[in-house]
A and B are shown apart, each in its own frame.
Chain A
Amino acid sequence: MAPRTLFDKLWDAHLVQAETGDLPAVLYIDLHLVHEVTSPQGFDTLRARGLPVRRADRTLATLDHSTPTTPPDENGERRYYTPQARSQVEQLERNCAEFGVRLEGWDSAQRGIVHVMGPEIGATQPGMTVVCGDSHTATHGAFGALAFGIGTTEVGYVLATQCLMQRKPRSMRITVNGRLGPGVGAKDLILHIIHAIGVGGGTGHVIEYAGEAIEALSMEQRMTVCNMTIEAGARAGMIAPDEKTVEYLRGRPLSPEGRAFDRAAARWMALRSDAGARFDQEVAIDAADIAPTLTWGIDPGMSVPVTATVPAAGSAGVDRALAYMGLEGGKPLLGHPVDIVFVGSCTNGRISDLREAAEVLRDRTVSGGTRMLVVPGSEAVRRQAEAEGLHEVFLAAGAEWREPGCSMCLAMNGDLVPSGQTAVSTSNRNFEGRQGPGARTLLASPLTAAACAVAGKVIDPRGLTGATPREAA
């Protein structure tokens, strides 16, 4: 057999029907993750057609997008932002009860942002196909899974048939050579990649990340990279499983146990692109070129190294972005005042992200004019952070410590950036209005975000943490 890519292997293994000239492939879905925003009309389809959920045992639901991150009031009532938010949550509770779908709801110790929770409880495993009505489903590709976002109509199809009709995308390999420098993390890496290939650069492709710098990343960092694959337009991103993947999954609630785990691990370790496998596109990135990176504009490709100047005015796209962001073209980002800092989301709301931010804030305080919000990605992340006393570090520094959810990443739940204010955010989208109408978002790593919170303005985190930029050789 000709050498195959990891993506080819995953694709072939899930074909219920191969594609033909006339018909797309029928692809089997191993794991369907569900949340309250994109699922109600999918369940309605079942109801209208009198159909059950075909594989409730392969379906897993959570509450994350519309949920308040403040504690319940004195009567135990959740403080929903709007009555619709409440009814959306209640609708999912009803749908799951009616169709027998497992819901990690308000009373679950595992509830969390869908892309934080899935891997954390071991639901996401190498070799799987994973879908969710959410574009950041690409996150799960960090485990060597084929994971992608779908629309609500397709949510209905998967609920009803556990299958989707898909044309096979093209393949792209991004090889990141060398090692990231001090103070430079997975978020900086993926922002750099999106800038390099463009926000549409991955359209029509599935990306495999490879190379020394990728292998050196922890599983949580790999999730950060795969998470933002969609911001380069690619539907899925993936990384071949290795020892780190296996160790991460050992002992998770839904992982296999005992000898079954060892056998699964052996299968997982074999999931990699064959030597000589051909990709439709190859991109090489040098890790040493990457500095702490922030976006300055209105899409995730509009980023610069923290010490650089933002682009000069003069083209329609740049002019619009500068005007929206209240920035002057050709000027440095360093020193730009920061009103809000948000640490959280499915990109950077995991325990290692919170540790990174807490390290900066220990014995320091959030600048007087700046508000900082720290939102754990899941109940498990919250418990772990509290066990380590990280919440006390945040609170002592003057930051807010919230309950898990998507929160200010998309500002559906009332956690929003007021119009005209500038936020340094560890989330994944800086689109106009994403964090609230008129909100100005600078995407950055948890390290950079925490450093900016202390300074009350954009600073180079390497100055604060003592990590010096690597000298040019």
Chain B
Amino acid sequence: MDAFTTLTGRVLVLPEKNIDTDQIIPARFLTATSFDGIGEGAFADWRFDAEGNPLDGCVLNEPRAADSPVLVAGHNFGCGSSREHAPRALLGFGFRVVISSEIADIFRSNSQNVGLLPVVLPEEQHLALMAMDGEELTVNLEACEVRTSTGERYPFEIDGFARHCLLEGMDRLDFLLSQEQHITNYEEHHERQDSAAAG
């Protein structure tokens, strides 16, 4: 995955609450066996009619959407399924950061695993950002803060290891593989216990 350190870019606001993963990427786009081109399905039913024509009035169809890496979305973004296709579709569409006042658990960890930065802010700050559609923001993961064009600074929290992985563009597999001896010890200990109990 690509590293994320700091980014300055325009905001695109989707104010709806509880935007679920079926909106982010409808199930019919899940049949591929690779994630290539998954961005084309992002919000497909919001962007296109049944014949595949772009829908007027959908902000995601405005030319600026392709050039707005910061998605600010309503409360409880990403609820629903565990499909990793959702954060991957957002990345494919061009987003690098998603900001909300709440982000669903599985979506959040999937995002961290694929290099989309999930940022949760308190309601008041989230509301302020919801009013900044089209404006520029800086999201700095090293400093863990969002900075508005007027100089407001909103600090955010993120798990230290998730931050480290995002900053380095590193997945967790190497770390887990480095735990091999501990894993084997765990297995031997527990399987001995189980067979003693079963004996």
Residues of A within 8 A of B (CB): 16-17, 21-24, 26, 28, 37-38, 40-41, 44-45, 49, 54, 65-66, 82, 84-85, 87-88, 91, 133-135, 137, 148-154, 156-157, 160-163, 165, 167, 169, 199-200, 203-204, 230, 233-235, 256, 260, 263-264, 267, 299, 301, 316-317, 320, 410-412, 419, 429, 431-434, 437-438
* Min distance, Cβ A55 to any Cβ of chain B, angstroms: 8
Q: Does B198 contact A161, Cβ atoms closer than 8 Å? A: no
Interface stretch (choices B5-13, B80-88, B126-134): B80-88
Give me 20 A-to-B residue pairs in the complex whose CB atoms sit less than 8 angstroms apart, sorted by A's number. Answer: A16-B186, A17-B182, A26-B179, A37-B83, A66-B31, A84-B31, A84-B32, A135-B82, A148-B106, A149-B82, A154-B110, A157-B176, A160-B176, A162-B187, A165-B161, A200-B102, A301-B18, A429-B80, A432-B22, A437-B50
* Min distance, Cβ B198 to any Cβ of chain A, angstroms: 4
Q: Does A133 contact B82, Cβ atoms closer than 8 Å? A: yes
From the candidates A134, A157, A260, name the one contacting B82 in the complex (CB within 8 A): A134
Q: Does A157 contact B161, Cβ atoms closer than 8 Å? A: no
Q: Which residues of A contact B84 (CB under 8 A)?
A: 38, 41, 133, 151-153
Q: Does B176 contact A135, Cβ atoms closer than 8 Å? A: no
Q: Does A40 contact B22, Cβ atoms closer than 8 Å? A: no
Asked if B105 is at the interface of the complex by the 8 Å CB criterion, the answer is yes
Q: Does B45 contact A432, Cβ atoms closer than 8 Å? A: yes
Q: Does A38 contact B32, Cβ atoms closer than 8 Å? A: no
Instruction: State whether A28 and B183 are in contact (beta carbons under 8 Å apart), knowing that A91-B33, A135-B106, A161-B177 are contacts in the complex.
Output: yes
Asked if B114 is at the interface of the complex by the 8 Å CB criterion, the answer is yes
Q: Does A153 contact B18, Cβ atoms closer than 8 Å? A: no
Chain A residue nearest to B177 (CB atoms) is A161
A40 to B35: give the CA distance in the assembly, Å: 10
Q: Does B105 contact A41, Cβ atoms closer than 8 Å? A: no
Q: Mark B58-82, 1 if CB is under 8 A from A, else 0.
A: 0000000000000000011001111
From the candidates A162, A163, A299, name the one contacting B18 in the complex (CB within 8 A): A299
Q: Which residues of B contact A17 (CB under 8 A)?
A: 179, 182
Chain A residue nearest to B86 (CB atoms) is A151
From the candidates A54, A135, A438, name the one contacting B81 in the complex (CB within 8 A): A135
A471 to B54: give the CA distance in the assembly, Å: 53
Asked if B17 is at the interface of the complex by the 8 Å CB criterion, the answer is yes
* Min distance, Cβ A127 to any Cβ of chain B, angstroms: 10
Q: Which residues of A contact B45 (CB under 8 A)?
A: 432-433, 437
A273 to B73: give the CA distance in the assembly, Å: 38
Instruction: State whether A203 and B82 are in contact (beta carbons under 8 Å apart), knowing that A85-B31, A157-B173 are contacts in the complex.
Output: no
A301 to B109: give the CA distance in the assembly, Å: 23
A151 to B183: give the CA distance in the assembly, Å: 21
Q: Does A412 contact B31, Cβ atoms closer than 8 Å? A: yes
From the candidates A203, A204, A264, A299, name the one contacting B197 in the complex (CB within 8 A): A264
From the candidates A44, A137, A165, name the one contacting B176 in the complex (CB within 8 A): A165
Instruction: State whether A45 and B161 are in contact (beta carbons under 8 Å apart), knowing that A412-B27, A431-B22 are contacts in the complex.
Output: no
From the candidates B27, B105, B172, name the one contacting A165 in the complex (CB within 8 A): B172
Chain B residue nearest to A156 (CB atoms) is B173
What 6 pairs between A and B have smallest CB-CB spacing?
Answer: A151-B84, A151-B110, A149-B82, A200-B76, A84-B31, A40-B33
Q: Mark B152-167, 1 if CB is under 8 A from A, else 0.
A: 0000000111000000
Q: Which bracket fits the contact residues of B?
A: 35 or more
Q: Mark B109-127, 1 if CB is under 8 A from A, else 0.
A: 1100110000000000000
Q: Which of B143-199 contact A (CB under 8 A)?
A: 159-161, 171-173, 175-177, 179-180, 182-183, 186-187, 190, 197-198
* Min distance, Cβ A92 to any Cβ of chain B, angstroms: 9
Chain B residue nearest to A45 (CB atoms) is B173
Q: Which residues of B contact A66 (CB under 8 A)?
A: 31
* Min distance, Cβ B174 to any Cβ of chain A, angstroms: 10
Q: Does B113 contact A154, Cβ atoms closer than 8 Å? A: yes
Asked if B138 is at the interface of the complex by the 8 Å CB criterion, the answer is no
Asked if B14 is at the interface of the complex by the 8 Å CB criterion, the answer is no
User: Residue among B15, B106, B197 with the most chain A CB within 10 A?
Assistant: B106
Chain B residue nearest to A16 (CB atoms) is B186
Q: Does A153 contact B159, Cβ atoms closer than 8 Å? A: no
Q: Does A157 contact B172, Cβ atoms closer than 8 Å? A: yes
A91 to B30: give the CA distance in the assembly, Å: 14
Q: Does B30 contact A235, Cβ atoms closer than 8 Å? A: no
A299 to B109: give the CA distance in the assembly, Å: 22
* Min distance, Cβ B21 to any Cβ of chain A, angstroms: 8
* Min distance, Cβ A142 to any Cβ of chain B, angstroms: 19
Chain A residue nearest to B87 (CB atoms) is A151
Q: Which residues of A contact B32 (CB under 8 A)?
A: 84, 88
A230 to B177: give the CA distance in the assembly, Å: 30
Q: Does A38 contact B33, Cβ atoms closer than 8 Å? A: no
Q: Which residues of A contact B50 (CB under 8 A)?
A: 419, 437-438
Q: Which residues of B contact A37 (CB under 8 A)?
A: 30-31, 83
Instruction: State whether A263 and B197 are in contact (beta carbons under 8 Å apart), knowing that A161-B183, A200-B102 are contacts in the complex.
Output: yes
Q: Which residues of B contact A267 (CB under 8 A)?
A: 197
* Min distance, Cβ A71 to any Cβ of chain B, angstroms: 21
Asked if B34 is at the interface of the complex by the 8 Å CB criterion, the answer is yes
